Amino acid sequence: MSSLDSPIEIPVEDGRSIPGTLVAPATAMPGVLFVQGWGSGQEQYLARAREIAALGCVCLTFEPRGVARGDPEHETVTREENLKDILAAYDLLAGQSAVDTKAIGVVGSSYGGYLAAVLSSLRPVRWLALRVPALYKDEDWALPKRALDKDELAAYRRRPVDASENRALAACAAFRGDVLVVESEHDDVVPHPVIANYLAAFERAHSLTYRVITGADHGLSEVPWQQAYTSLLVTWATEMVLGAREGGKAPAAHTQLKPSPNRGPPRPA
């Protein structure tokens, strides 16, 4: 990475100053926003944020209102309110002097993946990493998340949904950056048809990488599954960041994989 030398004067205690040279990266660093899943806290994302920060990125984790189980607004918060939280977090990250506003990535899981997809239609996003992204009906947008009909939602997640029918999928259809989609093999919350709907929507993406964590459940309840996801995410992020530094784009040979919509029967939600 190229550097920029800036002459500076360093004040010392006796009122004098001494000359110095500040050596810093010549360009701003990528920014990465982590959007947590429903019922989780930001502490679950800090370890991954630290690993990606080590690549030379500025990372931000945060607590959207009502998302964590112990939050007083857990029963009443709506998607509209959480989207406002995410937009505020994005704007804060993008406003950091060290962040390159043309190189911002968003990492979202489950509910956070759904909202991250919506965010990509409202703010510039270069990289989008979605782990088990959930899907919700547009007409229920203003309802509290906890008030949604679970049986109706489960049925919706078992059928094909076109990008024109859903706000998040429409955002994916318009997205032109690089995408990572990670599925859990034994997910009883976000079944495979949901993943297939997302993958089908990313027709204009610059690159699309799809991976399945073998044996994993929705919440990655076993340590090996958590480690597998961290490895996938950091490897992908490394490729994206290095690609951006070397040529402004992800490598042209980046793997693009799409599964069959009929990979396997969905488990009941």
Name residue 141's amino acid: W
Q: 27, exposed or middle or buried, with CB in 10 Å at 0-12, 13-18, 19+?
A: middle
pLDDT value for 262: 43
Which tens digit of pLDDT belongs to each residue from 74-120? 889 899 999 999 999 999 999 888 899 999 999 999 999 999 999 99
At CB < 8 A and 24+ separation, what contacts does 10-14 make? none
Q: How far apart are CA 114 and CA 79, in angstroms?
A: 10
**CB neighbour burial string for 222-244, b if at least 16 within 10 angstroms, e if fewer:** eeebbebbeebbeebbebbbebb
Least confident of 65-79, 102-116, 247-261: 247-261
Confidence of residue 70 (pLDDT cuts 50, 70, 90): confident
Give me the mean pLDDT over the 8-20 stretch. Answer: 74
| pLDDT higher than 90, residue 16 | no
Rounded CA separation 148/139 (Å): 11
pLDDT category, 24, cuts 50, 70, 90? low
Per-residue pLDDT, 244: 80
At residue 26, the pLDDT reads 62
258 within 8 A of 205, measured Cβ to Cβ: no
Integer Cα distance of 55 and 201 in angstroms: 30
SS3 per residue for 62-107: CCCCCCECCCCCCCCCEHHHHHHHHHHHHHHHHCCCCEEEEEEEEE
Confidence at residue 74, expressed as pLDDT on a 0 to 100 scale: 87
Choose the weakest-confidence range: 14-28, 47-61, 133-147, 206-220. Answer: 14-28
First vs last Cα of the chain: how many Å apart?
48
Give the model confidence (pLDDT) of 133-189 as tens digits: 999 999 999 999 989 999 999 999 999 999 999 999 999 999 999 999 999 999 999
Percent of the chain whose predicted confidence (pLDDT) is above 70: 87
CA distances from 106 to 19, 86, 177 (A): 40, 10, 11
Find how far residue 44's CA is from the centre of its chain: 14
Q: Is the model's pLDDT at 38 over the cut of 90?
A: no
What would the two tokens of residue 69 be?
């189980």
Return the beta strands (E) in the chain as ranges. 3-11, 17-25, 29-35, 58-60, 99-109, 127-131, 178-184, 207-213
**Per-residue confidence at 255, pLDDT binned at 50, 70, 90?**
very low
Is residue 269 over pLDDT 60? no
Instruction: Considering only CA atoms, give the Rg of the chain.
Output: 20
Residue (of 199, 139, 122) closest to 163 by Cα position: 199
Confidence of residue 254 (pLDDT cuts 50, 70, 90): very low
What pLDDT score does 65 carry?
84
* Burial class for 71, CB neighbours closer than 10 Å (0-12, 13-18, 19+): middle
Which helix (H) or strand (E) segment holds residue 245: the answer is helix 223-247
pTM of the model: 0.84
Please report, to the nearest 10 degrees, the dihedral formed by the alpha carbons of residues 181, 185, 190, 192 taken in order. Answer: 80
pLDDT, residue 79, reads 93
Which domains does the chain possess? 28-247 (3.40.50.1820)
pLDDT at 18 over 70: no
